């Protein structure tokens, strides 16, 4: 069957080329549209560090700064992780590798179960539950720090020194194509570096927590946090004041307009291409009416003829899809600087592959239906006489 299909392509090479070009234009426009939509969604989430409905900010001021507080602070943080992921963000910058010129903002983090979003990782992995259970000295560093410390990328031997302790670098955070708030930040598991809180005897009487919870019930989250604080501090001389804050939902009208506009443009191009492809397919199939009519006269079933034509169309569409995705892949390589300046990433992802493959198959089937129907209604003798 494959040999017959290749022979048909060779006999109708010009039509196949035009069909392929049509598919390439349509699938490429659709795939780039998918990349634009994906980038818009990522940018929206990055700007709010995740889903705003699941994020609570807790600013806790302790009125007493003593040993009792230091003894209980670890228990407080550990208990809050029962609600969700905890990040402590109001910490001072620290020297990296004991270099006065190389400092970074530090975020202590801890969770017992991964939340529905985490900081984007360019290379390596995000923390997992075992990192916290086993008190592993691991860190995630921002891409600007990684460029300075590990210009060739990270491996199993990539480590940084913080407070005279060696930490293995397991991931690089940020986005390859644009700047983010994580580019100069180091994330450290709380239980391996809790002394950074510096609760005892220094200037720090407060902590700011970012809570990323599964629950979107704000009253429930507030109640759980205050209950934990009350329980842990009830037998001490420590007291506290707490303020809860929430990230406001962004005005998503611009994001929606961008997605709608992208879908409209890509969809319009795709519809035009499908119409042209149908016309080209009609010409291609009608041009083979002699071959098809001979098959019918020799007893070939209509279902077999229809199947072979659809398979040929899908193969052309799939081959065109591969070319379109390859073109999309090399675009950011050729225009790397220009795309970086506008912060756009169009490198194909799994979404592009799946979406393009689905569209290629659908277009291959649709573009075959009209000419097949017309061809099947033709009388073989009449068709041969006019061939």
Residue 195's domain comprises: 52-245
Closest C-alpha to 286, from 12, 6, 73: 12
For residue 184, which phi and psi values (nearest 5 degrees)?
-120, 25
Same structural domain for residues 97 and 179?
yes
Mean pLDDT of 140-153: 93
CA atoms within 13 A on the CB side of 128: 4
Same structural domain for residues 118 and 230?
yes
- Of the residues 191, 225, 245, which one is the last residue of a structural domain? 245
- Of the residues 205, 224, 245, which one is the last residue of a structural domain? 245
Closest C-alpha to 109, from 203, 181, 247, 211: 211
Confidence label for 202 from pLDDT (cuts 50, 70 and 90): very low
The pLDDT assigned to 108 comes to 93
Same structural domain for residues 78 and 225?
yes
Pair of tokens at residue 366 = 């649709």
- Per DSSP, 287 falls in state T
* Count of Cβ atoms closer than 10 Å to residue 97 Cβ: 11
Same structural domain for residues 373 and 227?
no
* DSSP 3-state of 377: coil
- Of the residues 208, 223, 245, which one is the last residue of a structural domain? 245
Same structural domain for residues 20 and 163?
no
Q: What is the domain count for the chain? A: 2
Q: Pick the range with the lowest mean pLDDT from 158-167, 227-236, 269-278.
A: 269-278
Confidence label for 118 from pLDDT (cuts 50, 70 and 90): very high
The pLDDT assigned to 235 comes to 84
Same structural domain for residues 205 and 310?
no
Task: Provide the CA 251 distance to its chain's centre, in angstroms.
Answer: 21
Same structural domain for residues 19 and 160?
no
Same structural domain for residues 106 and 37?
no
- Per DSSP, 179 falls in state -
Confidence label for 111 from pLDDT (cuts 50, 70 and 90): very high
Task: Provide the CA 353 distance to its chain's centre, in angstroms.
Answer: 14
Write out the H or E segment, with its range, that includes residue 280. Answer: helix 253-286
pLDDT, the chain, mean = 81
Closest C-alpha to 177, from 47, 49, 344: 344
Same structural domain for residues 126 and 93?
yes
Same structural domain for residues 219 and 275?
no
pTM recorded for the entire structure: 0.74
Pair of tokens at residue 69 = 């507080």
Same structural domain for residues 317 and 205?
no
C-alpha 83/C-alpha 90 separation (Å) is: 20
Query: Residue 7: exposed, middle, or buried by beta-carbon count in 10 A (0-12, 13-18, 19+)?
Result: exposed
Same structural domain for residues 261 and 214?
no
Confidence label for 196 from pLDDT (cuts 50, 70 and 90): confident
């Amino acid at each position: 069957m494959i040999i017959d299909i290749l022979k048909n392509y060779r006999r109708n090479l010009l039509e196949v080329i035009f069909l392929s070009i049509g598919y390439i234009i349509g699938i490429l426009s659709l795939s780039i549209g998918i990349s634009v939509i994906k980038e818009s969604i990522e940018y929206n989430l990055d700007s709010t560090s995740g889903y705003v409905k699941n994020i609570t900010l807790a600013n806790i001021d302790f009125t007493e700064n003593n040993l009792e507080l230091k003894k209980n602070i670890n228990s407080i943080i550990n208990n809050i992780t029962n609600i969700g992921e905890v990040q402590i963000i109001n910490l001072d910058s620290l020297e990296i590798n004991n270099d006065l010129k190389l400092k970074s903002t530090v975020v202590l983090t801890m969770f017992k179960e991964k939340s529905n979003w985490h900081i984007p990782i360019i290379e390596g992995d995000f923390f997992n539950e075992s990192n916290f259970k086993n008190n592993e000295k691991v860190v995630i560093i921002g891409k600007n720090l990684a460029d300075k410390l590990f210009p060739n990328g990270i491996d199993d031997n990539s480590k940084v020194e913080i407070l005279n302790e060696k930490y293995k670098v397991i991931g690089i955070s940020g986005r390859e194509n644009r700047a983010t708030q994580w580019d100069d930040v180091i994330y450290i598991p709380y239980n391996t570096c809790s002394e950074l809180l510096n609760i005892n005897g220094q200037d720090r009487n407060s902590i700011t927590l970012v809570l990323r919870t599964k629950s979107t019930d704000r009253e429930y989250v507030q109640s759980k946090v205050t209950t934990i604080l009350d329980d842990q501090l009830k037998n001490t001389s420590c007291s506290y004041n707490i303020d809860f804050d929430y990230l406001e939902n962004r005005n998503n009208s611009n994001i929606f307009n961008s997605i709608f506009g992208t879908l409209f443009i890509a969809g319009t191009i795709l519809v035009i291409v499908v119409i042209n492809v149908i016309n080209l397919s009609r010409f291609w199939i009608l041009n083979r009416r002699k071959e098809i009519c001979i098959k019918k006269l020799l007893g070939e079933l209509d279902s077999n003829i229809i199947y072979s034509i659809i398979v040929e169309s899908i193969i052309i569409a799939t081959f065109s899809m591969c070319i379109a995705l390859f073109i999309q892949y090399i675009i950011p390589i050729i225009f790397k600087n220009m795309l970086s300046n506008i912060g756009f990433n169009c490198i194909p992802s799994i979404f592009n592959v799946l979406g393009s493959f689905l569209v290629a198959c659908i277009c291959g089937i649709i573009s075959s239906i009209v000419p097949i129907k017309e061809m099947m209604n033709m009388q073989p003798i009449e068709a041969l006489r006019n061939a």
